Amino acid sequence: MYKVKGVEYPCCTSVTMGIIGGKWKTVILAHLTIDGTLRYSELRKKMKGVTERTLSLQLKALQEAGVINRKVYTSKPPLKVEYSLTEFGETLVPLINAIIDWGEMVIDNYSDE
């Protein structure tokens, strides 16, 4: 067993999937990898089909895992919240880029269209 940030995992693969697994976490990470820092509303526009609740929960989980930063600007209305990769999150960039490349290859070679 491995323990990372208070969570136990049975193997190295489960560590990775525990942190970035699921339908929306990798999509969020891909947008932050490609586009850099994004506001909540910008992420929501880029992610067709995600509900506000799901996006908020996934962002919170990534923040708790130490993968993304959440910065709130309150100096002048309206409230502005930005998300970016942490230094730890930056270590995922090669993996996220590999996932993007593989997905593009599948679309190019195996798409039904």
Q: What is the residue-level pLDDT of the chain in tens, covering all 113 positions?
A: 888 888 889 999 999 999 999 899 999 999 999 999 999 999 999 999 999 999 999 999 999 999 999 999 888 887 889 999 999 999 999 999 999 999 999 999 998 86
The total number of structural domains in the chain stands at 1
In angstroms, the Cα distances linking 37 to 14, 41, 106 are: 27, 12, 28
The answer to whether position 3 is within a domain reads: no
CATH code of the domain covering residue 95: 1.10.10.10
The answer to whether position 59 is within a domain reads: yes
Which residue range(s) make up the domain with 78? 23-110
The answer to whether position 17 is within a domain reads: no
Q: Using alpha carbons only, how large is the chain's radius of gyration in Å?
A: 15
The answer to whether position 12 is within a domain reads: no
The answer to whether position 7 is within a domain reads: no
